[in-house]
Structure 1
Amino acid sequence: MIVAAWTVSAGTVMPAAADTDPRGYLTKMKAQEMWKVADGTGVTVAVIDSGVTDLPELKGRVLPGISFMEPPFERPDITYPPHEDFVGHGTSMTAGIVGDGSAGGPQGLAPGAKVLPIRTSIGTPMAFAVGPEVAKGLRYAADNGAKVINISLGVTPGWSMDKIRPAVEYAQSKGALVFAAMGNDGEGHNFNNPVAALPGVIGVGAVDDTAKAMPFTSYGPDTDLSSVGGKVQIRCTDNKGWCVGDGGTSYATSLASASAALVWSAHPDWTANQVARVLIQTAGAPVDGSKRSDYVGYGVARPRKVLLDHEGDPGAPDTDPLAVPAPAKAPTPSADQTAAVPHQVQSADAESGKASWMWPALGAVVAVGLGLGIPLFVKRRRR
């Protein structure tokens, strides 16, 4: 199995008073107003990633968690705690969900939620073990109260999907809603995360702060929602402090997961299907008038439409909203967060078109060379 990993390029260090607030998406999403209704309290979001660094800006918001990280072959006695993060990726995702905004770090979209960190070998020489670790993480999350499961990493199709698919089904049977990043390889051979192709999993693409699909976002029929993935606060290259850079579909997925946490916090009696349904119904639809596109899915997640405007029909609790021909209510465009589809054109306000958190050249190229670039599982057909 080949594992899709991310690498980090140097971000732009955020000055004390930035001209452009990288957290401006919170203003557009009306976060302050939403938090008066619900802030994620009562919802646990499992982050299956590279672990989390204990930082003051995350204090009291991160549960003990677990590590499934494989030790090196030559040192099988070594253990790795979940509250440790070699590469900073899991820490960035966690802060995007529950950070308190101090120390130059992200203000989380769902600051009242709790994050359950599940550490994998992503970003290490043992990354080939990530697939089975993700499968273990899904089951652990489901058994330990996670309503939302965030997978901001990818694996190529292969034998590990035989473990991941039943693990996803197990988590769903326990009532969890799973989000998976589509990938950051849209400008290459468009390698898509096969986890996002599994039935019921919400595949997430990335848009910039103007709601335009970012050039690098992977795209396809398994894109369901999108969120901001450009010019956000992520851990710097040296994993010390916070920098501004492109968080890619990884960060977009954390914001989509946080959106679900907000909705679920306001409606704790809803099921995963109902939370997913209203997020789809209220997404900022593509500006070309289509119900969905392969770049942004049904559009940009807008939990405020549910919390503040009371839109969205939760519908049947046991029916996957993505398994039916169309949402119960067509997504409604909005001038402030309507998703623009790039049609293979670079966005003028995307920096270089390169993601700071990138899906790997190695894993993806080898996958294509082996004929594995197309997901082995078909999620469902939209009509």
Structure 2
Amino acid sequence: MIPAAADTDPPDYLTAMKAQEMWKVADGTGITVAVVDSGFKQVPGVRSESVLPGVSVMSPPPGQPDKTYPAHDDVEGHGTTMTAAIVGDGTGGGPKGLAPGAKVMPVRTSLGTPMAFATGAEGAKGIRYAADNGAKIINLSWGDYYSYERLKAAVQYAQSKGVLVVAAMGNEGEGNNATNLFTQVPGVIGVGAIDETAEPLKLSSHGEDTDLSAYGSKAPVRCKDNTAWCVRDGGTSYASALTSASAALVWSAHPDWTANQVARVLIETAGGPVDGAKRNDWIGYGAARPRMVLLEKAGNPGAPDVDPLAPAPTNTPTPAPSQAAAAPAEAAAAEAGLPWQWLALGAVVAAGLGLAGTLIVKRRRS
């Protein structure tokens, strides 16, 4: 395992994204990002004031109905890593968060524990809790198979409350390319991962539900059962957290915008494919570049109640979407860990398998 970088060596992606300049305009203040994940553990690198009390929705084990679990605990470290990617202070070997002024609401599920089979049902409950308790953005860096319908309903409930939902595509790109079912829900931002040169990571799951991409290569992540910071690929989990942080920056600068408007400007200002295509299945519309909105004043927020990923009205048949991966993002798209949390315990498995006939596939704008 590679030791974590020194405190004086911020991850290159922050420099490429012009984070220091962006923070002079907006740093995420006023925005709450719910991280529905494995919880949060107070560690060097994350200030306690950046993390709200949150909630644990973990189910008690059989025979112990009164047992409870604190939200501010994380035996595995995945949720702690996602939190640090958003609001970390860069000390102790951890990452400097992209939206350091935001607040993270930890919502602890059984992810990463022997009770991981309960994560789907718990996650649905946690999504609803976050939507009802002030979250503007919900980050989902995990996926579930058997509880998809319940989770989809929870996501749609959150969206009805004006919440922007961001989900990682998955880390099965080199295997069966299974993608996270969350990303198939209309309006959810599906995020792929790129490296420091803007090339898609080979591990990144990809397909027609990829909307944006962000850095997911070597980064400080929690390791050794959440006892230390190490450096390794963060994957689409990390990329999703950075996209949630990008949305927090934009929303902090434009608090009167809706989730649709925040999503629209991120899509319109993304660093797109080098071949001139509007999007491709690896990076979606391109790498998230909030600096284009904050520093260049680019992007038209458009209608507040129109999903930017919805298809434009048409009277002609819609051609079948191409499954072919196009060229990677341009170098500038690099402006835009832990492995993907597909668990091998019963209900929490690689998403996208065996449900093709029952899913609502997210349709995109033309």
Shared fold, TM over 0.5: yes
Residue identity opposite 1:12 in structure 2 = I
Q: For residue 227 of structure 2, what is the aligned residue in structure 1?
A: 240
Contact 2:273/2:330 (<8 A) preserved: no
Aligned CA distance change for structure 1 residues 181 and 365 (closer, same or farther; 3 Å): closer
8 A contact 1:305–1:311 mirrored in 2: yes
Q: 274, 283, 286: which is aligned to 2:270?
A: 283
Q: After superposition, where does 1:268-347 map in structure 2 within 5 Å?
A: 268-325=255-312, 335-337=331-333
Deviation at 1:126, TM superposition (A): 1.1
CA distance in 1, matches of 2:265, 2:351: 36
Taking structure 2 as the reference length, the TM-score comes to: 0.89
1:240: Cα distance to partner? Answer: 1.4
* In 2, Cα distance between equivalents of 1:366 and 1:94: 23
Matched with 2:362 is: 379
Aligned to 1:45: 33
Secondary structure (helix, strand or coil) at the match of 1:212 reads coil
Q: Is the 8 A contact 1:192 1:374 kept in 2?
A: no
Q: CA deviation at 1:320?
A: 0.1
Deviation (angstroms), 1:209: 1.1
Task: Specify which of 172, 185, 207 is matched with residue 220 of structure 1.
Answer: 207
Equivalences for 1:146-157 in 2 at 5 Å?
146-156=135-145
Distance 1:96 1:131, change over 3 A: same
Q: 1:329 corresponds to which residue? A: none
Q: Deviations over 1:259-297 (max 9, x none)?
A: 000000000000000000000000000112111111111
Is the alpha carbon distance of 1:99 and 1:177 closer, same or farther for their aligned partners in structure 2, counting shifts above 3 Å?
Answer: same
Say whether the 8 Å CA contact 1:285–1:338 is kept in structure 2. no
**Distance in 1 separating the partners of 2:29 and 2:76:** 28
Deviation, 1:374, is: 8.1
Answer yes or no: is the 8 Å Cα contact 2:5–2:220 preserved in 1.
Answer: no
**In structure 2, what is the Cα distance between the partners aligned to 1:61 and 1:295?**
33
Structure 1 stretch displaced more, 355-364 or 285-294: 355-364
- 1:113-152 to structure 2, matched below 5 A, reads 113-152=102-141
How far apart, in 2, do the equivalents of 1:44 and 1:360 lie?
A: 26
Q: Does structure 2 conserve the Cα–Cα contact (< 8 Å) formed by 1:287 and 1:338?
A: no
> Aligned residue for 1:14?
4
Structure 2 counterpart SS, 1:192: coil
Structure-1 separation of matches of 2:344 and 2:356? 12
Q: Give the TM-score normalised by the residue count of structure 1.
A: 0.86
Residue 207 (1) aligns with residue 197 (2): no
Corresponding letter in the other structure for 1:358 = W
1:16 CA displacement: 3.4
Q: Alpha carbons of 1:362 and 1:224: their partners in 2 closer, same or farther (altered >3 Å)?
A: same
Provide the identity percentage: 63
Q: Structure 2: 5+ residue runs without aligned partners?
A: 314-328
Uncovered stretches (5+) of structure 1, i.e. residues with no partner: 1-10, 327-332, 340-354
Partner AA of 1:115 in structure 2:
V
1:261 aligns with 2:244: no
Q: Could you list the per-position Cα deviations for residues 189-237 of structure 1 after superposition, in whole angstroms to 9, with x for gaps in the alignment?
A: 1111101110100001111111110000001110100000110110023
Alignment of 1:160-239 (within 5 A): 160-239=147-226
Alignment CA distance shift 1:338-1:67 (3 Å) = closer
Q: Distance in 1 between matches of 2:13 and 2:172?
A: 23
The structural deviation recorded for 1:325 is: 3.9
Q: CA deviation at 1:52?
A: 0.2
Deviation at 1:64, TM superposition (A): 0.3
Give the SS at the match of 1:227: strand
Counterpart of 1:23 in structure 2 is: 11
Q: Distance in 1 between matches of 2:351 and 2:71?
A: 32
- TM-aligned CA distance change 1:313 to 1:381, over 3 Å: closer
Rounded Cα–Cα distance in structure 1 between residues aligned with 2:2 and 2:356: 32
- 1:70 CA drift (Å): 1.5
1:119 maps to a residue whose letter is R
Aligned length: 349
SS in 2 for 1:278: helix
Q: Distance in 1 between matches of 2:37 and 2:104?
A: 12
Q: Is the 8 A contact 1:367 1:373 kept in 2?
A: no
Paired residues for 1:64-75 under 5 Å: 64-75=53-64
Return closer, same or farther for 1:57/1:379 CA change in 2, 3 Å cut-off. same
Task: Note if contact 2:27-2:101 (Cα within 8 Å) is conserved in structure 1.
Answer: yes
1-structure distance, mates of 2:68, 2:279: 45
Structure-to-structure mapping, 1:342-357, within 5 angstroms: 356-357=338-339
1:352 matched residue in structure 2 = none
Conservation of the 8 A alpha-carbon contact between 1:22 and 1:244: no
SS of residue matched to 2:41: coil
Aligned position for 2:78: 89
CA distance in 2, matches of 1:222, 1:370: 15
| Residues 304, 266 of structure 1: alpha-carbon distance in 2 compared, 3 angstrom cutoff | same
Offset of 1:162 from its aligned partner? 2.1
